[in-house]
Amino acid sequence: MGTYPGGAVINVIPTLTTAGSSDGDVLCLTTEIPNAVISRGAASILRSISVYNHKDATCDFDIVFMKNKVDITNAAGNAVGHGSTWTKALAKSAEVIGAVYIDVSDNTSDLINGLLFSSGGILNENTKTPDIICQAASGSTSIYFTVIDRTGGITFAADDLEFIFGFEYLG
């Protein structure tokens, strides 16, 4: 994690399902973004998202942000519409903060052995990615996320996607 006055840049590598995925499949369990806010229960603004794709294969996806960690063990590798995945009760207990659709064709750099997608901040003033207000639970400085495949047909290694989140702390 790197910090700067008023915020932080936080790198997170979730453990991805390695079974191969279809459009609409959940790619990883709920994953923590530590220190997304400056103090317990505080808020921040998610200003930028970069994704380093070590697989070097284009894949669009949704990133769903949540206030609370929820158990979606049965969801990884299954479609979001699968009966045990995003139930009404699960969504309520997660306290979903927001979601961002990542279209890798919008702003991706080919790094030969990987792809780097960047959005937000000064990197792209015409970004389609909105700022998201993120608030942690009262006893936490973390928020959580999961990833939903929107391309399908790719088999990832467990550590193929690295997310880089840029937060501006509030308060």
Backbone φ/ψ region at 35: left (φ over 0), alpha (ψ -120 to 50), beta: left
Q: What pLDDT shows up at residue 80? A: 66
Distance CA 97, CA 158 (A): 25
Cα–Cα distance, 60 to 101 (Å, whole number) = 8
| pLDDT score of 3 | 57
- Bridge partners (DSSP) listed for residue 51: 117, 163
| Mean pLDDT over the full length of the chain | 82
pLDDT in tens, 60-79: 889 999 999 988 766 666 66
Cα(119)–Cα(122) distance, rounded to whole angstroms?
A: 9
How much is the pTM? 0.85
